[in-house]
Structure 1
Amino acid sequence: MSLARAGRIARLNRPCRPHVASRFSSSHAGEHDQHHHDAHADAIAFPREDFSAPIWRRFILYSLLAVGFYKFAPSPKEDNPFSRFLDQYRTPQEVWAAVNLKHLELSAQSQVDNLLVAEAKRPPVHRFRYPQAFEQYSPHLRPIGTTVDFGDLVIKGDKA
């Protein structure tokens, strides 16, 4: 190994030093930090932690309102103005039943169509390698009924 390469490897393995010089601590640094911390500890005032905070008052108020509404609200079978108002703008149950039935019928038809397309196959096409074989044998000396008349047979690809 060459000396230049060995020096390059040694430089790569050496930890790099930061460009900013590190600050060396002095003997009075600990005293300064302690004094600094004490000054801020007195300035910070935390709120009192108890159940008189506004959020707890709101929670209790809303809970009482919910329990009162549940207890004194009319039952669903009672006739009241609020129920009548909601019934004016609600779609009748028969309409939704008809819509759901129509959707079911269309979904079933769609599945039948999808199945038909998925299982569809092209009709088989029989292609002969040598279509001239139809004309190869003599029509003479054959017994009656054993041959098929291919006189009007048109082979695909022939333009005649």
Structure 2
Amino acid sequence: MSLARAAGAIVRPSQRAGTSFIQRRAASSHTHDEHHHEEHHDTNEYPPEVFNTPFWRRVAIVAVGVVAFYKYAPAPGDENPIAKYIARTMASPAALKEAAFKHLLLSAQGSDETLLVADSKPPVVHRLRFPQRLEMHSPHSLPVGIKLSTEDVVVKRD
């Protein structure tokens, strides 16, 4: 606790004792009665609520358009210019099937390559503690038919 707070705690109780509840209550906003007796009138002017605004006009036009389209639209089996255009520009089913099969093969090949790379490990390196032992073999006591030659062994130095 700081020194200023301690001094304030000592001085305040004597000041508080002099103020009464009524004096503290007088500072409340409830004592001002002149605000409660006034009549409040709304002086804003609002536009009339009608259904001829641009929003409702657009809603009506869209509704009429949807009803007209539903009534006069061609049946699913009928020939129409839109169906003809789609049939003319779309690829044949055989070409789509061939492209899908080619994509399947390439995806399988890509996944095989990804697995090959993910599962790969560096080659195993056998490190000898004393590589000079390769040159210290004994030509004696070898079984018949075995000739040990270490001439092609290369010792790497790190």
Q: Quick check: 121-130 or 74-83, which moved more?
A: 74-83
TM-aligned CA deviation for residue 116 of structure 1: 0.7
AA partner of residue 124 (structure 1): V
Residue aligning to 1:83: 83
Residue aligning to 1:119: 119
Q: Does 1:7 align with 2:14?
A: no
TM-aligned CA deviation for residue 53 of structure 1: 4.1
Gaps of 5+ in 1: 15-21
Pick closer, same or farther for the CA change 1:141–1:76 going to 2, 3 Å.
closer
TM-aligned CA deviation for residue 115 of structure 1: 0.6
AA partner of residue 47 (structure 1): P
Q: Is the 8 A contact 2:139 2:148 kept in 1?
A: no
Q: What secondary structure sits across from 1:84 in the alignment?
A: helix
Partners of 1:98 and 1:10 in 2: how far apart?
92
Residue aligning to 2:91: 92
TM-aligned CA deviation for residue 119 of structure 1: 0.9
Q: How many residues align?
A: 139
Report the RMSD for the aligned CA atoms in angstroms: 3.7
Show the 5 A alignment for 1:1-160: 5-8=2-5, 28-30=34-36, 34-35=38-39, 37-38=40-41, 40-41=42-43, 43-48=44-49, 52-54=51-53, 55-88=55-88, 90-94=89-93, 95-140=95-140, 142-145=142-145, 148-157=148-157
Partners of 2:72 and 2:130 in 1: how far apart?
94
- Percent sequence identity is 34
TM-score using structure 1 length: 0.61
AA partner of residue 92 (structure 1): A
Gaps of 5+ in 2: 13-26
TM-aligned CA deviation for residue 121 of structure 1: 1.7
AA partner of residue 80 (structure 2): N
